[in-house]
Every structure is written in C-alpha cells, then in structure tokens.
Amino acid sequence: MTGQQPQQPNYGNGSFGQPAAGQVLYGADGQPIAPALKPARRRGSVALVAALAIGALIGGASGAGISVWALSHNGSTSTNQASSPTTITVNNPNSANLITAVAAKASPSVVTIGVTDGSTTSGTGSGVILSADGYILTNTHVVTLDGATANPTISVTAADGKIYAAKVVGTDPVADLAVVKLQNASGLTPIEFGDSSTLNVGDTAIAIGAPLGLSGTVTNGIVSALNRSITVASSAAPNTSGEQATPDPSSTGSPYDFWNFDIPGQGGTQSQTPTTASSTISLAVIQTDAAINPGNSGGALLDAQGKLIGINVAIASAGSTSSSSGQSGSIGVGFSIPANFAKRISDEIIATGKATHGLLGASIAQTADANASVVGATVADVTSGGAAAAAGLAKGDIITAFNNIAVTDATDLTAQVRVLPAGASATVTYLRGTMSTTVTVTLGQLAN
C-alpha cells in the first residue's frame, strides 16, 4: 500500500492487478467506480416462482434426487488449490428454490479454465460455452495470465468432468474478453443469452464459476447498479493514449495497491511478481452483490430464468496489499460485462479473430471546474476530421450523456464509447456555456 491514508479500507482486487486511480470506492481491477452506489431494494419472495421454475427446468423428478454434474477439476498446475468434484444436487424438487432451478439449468454451460505459460506460472478462471462444438467465452486476462503470455497452454474442464485442450481463437483486451476453442469437443450445452438491456436494479443475479478453484460454485444476489463504469490498469491492453484519454492512474495519488483476479501468488498460493501495466481500459459493467471471488473471472452471471446477463470480470475487495500473503474475498461489490456487449464481441472474434470498438476522436478529461453546474466529461481536445469534430463538438464542451446514459466523468464516457462497434451511431448530449445540445455522432474505429 502506498500513500498517506492507512486508516482507509483497501478496495480493489480484480482482473488486472496494477495500481490505478484512487477514490473512495475501487473496482476489483484497481480503478475508481463512479458514481456512488444507489440503494436498491430486494424483490419479494420468489417461492411460487421457484416452485414453477424447478418443474419447468429440471422436469418431473422423483424425491430420490437429481445430481447435475458441474465442474470437477480446476485445470491448474498448482498442487495446493482445491479441485474436488462438485455437483448440483436436488434432493426434493418440490421444495427446491429458484436458485436451484437456475443452477441446474446453467451449470452444464459453465466450465473451469486452467492456464499455464509452460513454465512456473499458472492461473484458474471460468468460462461459458457458446456452441456445442466447443467455443468458450472467457476473459482476456484469464487466457493471457494478465498479459504475461501470448502462447498459453489451456485446459478446460466441462460439466461432465471431461477435460479438453483448448486454443485461443482471439482476444479483445479492450473489452477483457476472449474466445477459446476446445479440441475434439461435441455435444456440449451452450449458454442461453438473456437481454442485458432490459435489466432492472433489484433483479435477481446468480453467479456460477470456480472461485479459488472450487468448481461449480453458485452464489446469488441482485443487480446492484447498471451502467456502472470502472477503469482498470491492464498489461494486456493496447496503449490507446492520444486517441481517447482515460484518467491518469497517477494523478490522484492513490493510497491503494491492486492485485490480480485469478493469478496464483496474488491469492496466497504461489510466488509471482505482478506484471507491469502498460495501459488502462474503461469497462461498462453491471454491478452485483452476488459473491464473486478470484477464479470467477469469465464465469456466468445469470437472471432468474437461467439466461446469461453478464460475464464476471472483477470485484472490489478490502484488505489486500502488496505485502499481504493472502487475498481478500468478496465484500458484495462485483462487476460483470453485460451479455449484449459480450455477445457482440464473441461473435466478431469467432467470425474474424478480433473485435472493433468505437472511437469518439476526442481527448476527454474530468470536469475540473469547481463552479461547474453539472457533472460530466470535459472535451480537452478534438481530432481534426474525427467523429467528435464532425458532430460539432469543441474543446471545453461538457458531455453529460451518451446514448441517453448519464456521463459523470471521463471513465463513463470512454466505457460507453467502447461498447459500440466502429461505425455505430450514437447521441451525445453536451453543455456549452449554459446551453445543452444533443447531436448524433458516427463513431470512428479504435486502433487495434
């Protein structure tokens, strides 16, 4: 830990693991999460829904019990990580609840991923099945060991206990998503995608993955916030400085250290020197209080129908420092990449080996004017001939909304721009002086 504020809790334990901008609350990847949490009320009893759902999802079973095999091996080379077989067991379908129904439906579509660089470094994460022949969606930081290797050895354990070798199809570090392909796979159960754009704060959220190597772990909570944005330091991401600025991680003098989500040595299991981040990325995420821990990366966040609403990517966690030998777990602040965004990226990677992202063509800074009447992201400069210039944006404009999503700072804007593909149209609302204007912008393409 650095800085002069030892009294403050240490937030941040997530997918990338290098120091980044500090505010009161930090994303699991070591960057500020803005704005502050908005309270959300849990929904009422789901007993009736659960009784109906369990019958629909797992059929008319006897009281003798149903065991749905989940993940049985963590695929890691480490000998001191848990790897016991795990089952989802339903002993009495008549009394099983909604969470049981979702777990029974979706667990066959969640896998455990073990990655090694071929020498001494290894890590464990999760993934979801996209196709019966073995396309798997996970995080870039899982398959690259946080950017440490471009040629990983990957082992994937499926729900029936079979272990497959896998190869990387493509990675998208800007979205922290990757697709791998299992070798000689068939008959797998693809995940069913939900529509993440229709979520409400307070909706049921269920996470399935392999936290700490414990395959097939199921946790539940709610959707705590939508359109949250986090900025993370990444050793895997391309350097996009000069194209669209994100906050400088050193500008706020953060007193915190942030550690990797899945890499051994930062969870107290092996010795490893953290990789050095070369860039930052901004992610638009769903926030949930469903317990997510190291190893959940790339796993599923599901709705009450067992449909995929997010790919788990990061947590905020208290108590981890550069000198600690352990890694603190969930404090109820977890983050997932929305399913609609994840599907676009995975479809593009499968089709072409890579994905595209929008570019506004402007350098963006935090709104620093103490007398400003609104929060937003200030246009520090525009690129001649770029998307922002073509739409009439100018230096000094304060952007307050992007596609009708409120923008509170540079992280919000950058994250929302990156969600869209190159060439997409979007609306931008900005304040110039005292006049608010909304324009349509056709985004450029972020350089790979």
Q: Over the stretch 296-331, which tens digit does the pLDDT of each residue have?
A: 999 999 999 999 999 999 888 665 443 344 456 778
Question: Is 297 part of the annotated catalytic residue set?
Answer: yes
Q: Which pLDDT score is estimated for 208?
A: 95
Q: Which pLDDT score is estimated for 92?
A: 77
If one compares 394 and 270, the residue with the highest pLDDT of the two is 394
Delimit the domains of the chain by residue range.
16-39+46-355, 358-445
Question: Is 141 part of the annotated catalytic residue set?
Answer: yes
Q: Which pLDDT score is estimated for 371?
A: 67
Q: Has this prediction a pTM greater than 0.85?
A: no
Q: Are 153 and 109 in contact (CB under 8 A)?
A: no
Q: What residues contact residue 351 under an 8 Å CB cut-off, 6+ apart?
A: none
Q: Which pLDDT score is estimated for 60?
A: 32
Residue among 319, 90, 86 nearest 209 (CA): 86
Left if phi > 0, otherwise alpha if psi is -120 to 50, otherwise beta: which for 305?
A: alpha
> Is the per-residue pLDDT at 28 higher than 60?
no
Catalytic residue among 297, 320, 328, 330: 297
Catalytic residue among 141, 279, 330, 412: 141
Q: Which pLDDT score is estimated for 175?
A: 94
Q: Over the stretch 238-272, which tens digit does the pLDDT of each residue have?
A: 555 444 444 433 333 332 222 334 433 333 233 33
Catalytic residue among 29, 146, 172, 176: 176
Q: Which pLDDT score is estimated for 66?
A: 29
Which residue stretches of 327-409 are H helix? 339-352, 387-390
> Is the per-residue pLDDT at 5 higher than 90?
no
Q: Provide the mean pLDDT of the chain.
A: 74
Q: How many CA atoms lie within 13 A of 376 on its CB side?
A: 22
Q: Which pLDDT score is estimated for 122?
A: 79
Q: Percent of the chain beyond pLDDT 90? A: 50
Question: And the tokens for 413?
Answer: 């804007």
**Per-residue CA distances from 279 to 17, 192, 282 (Å):** 12, 33, 10
Q: Which pLDDT score is estimated for 366?
A: 74
Peptide bond connecting 35 to the previous residue in cis, omega within 30 degrees of 0 = yes
Determine whether domain 358-445 maps to CATH 2.30.42.10. yes
Looking at the DSSP assignment, which residues form a beta bridge with residue 282? 231
Q: Over the stretch 357-376, which tens digit does the pLDDT of each residue have?
A: 999 999 998 766 666 678 89
Q: Over the stretch 139-156, which tens digit does the pLDDT of each residue have?
A: 998 998 877 777 889 999
Using DSSP, state whether 424 is helix, strand or coil: coil
Q: Which pLDDT score is estimated for 315?
A: 85
User: pLDDT class for 160, splitting at 50, 70, 90?
Assistant: confident
> Is the per-residue pLDDT at 278 higher than 60?
no
Q: Which pLDDT score is estimated for 39?
A: 37
Q: Which pLDDT score is estimated for 118?
A: 75
How far is the first Cα of the chain from the last one, in angstroms, to the nearest whole number?
33
Query: Which CATH number, 2.40.10.120, 3.30.720.210, 1.10.10.10, 3.20.20.70, labels domain 16-39+46-355?
Result: 2.40.10.120
> Which whole number is the average pLDDT over 377-386?
93
Q: Over the stretch 161-201, which tens digit does the pLDDT of each residue have?
A: 899 999 999 999 999 999 999 999 999 999 999 999 999 99
Q: Which pLDDT score is estimated for 303?
A: 97
Q: Which pLDDT score is estimated for 45?
A: 34
If one compares 211 and 89, the residue with the highest pLDDT of the two is 211
Using DSSP, state whether 101 is helix, strand or coil: helix
Q: Over the stretch 29-75, which tens digit does the pLDDT of each residue have?
A: 343 333 333 333 333 333 333 333 334 443 333 222 222 222 222 23
User: pLDDT class for 232, splitting at 50, 70, 90?
Assistant: confident
Give the Cα separation of 241 and 365 in Å (integer). Answer: 12
Give the Cα separation of 178 and 170 in Å (integer). Answer: 6
Q: Which pLDDT score is estimated for 25?
A: 38
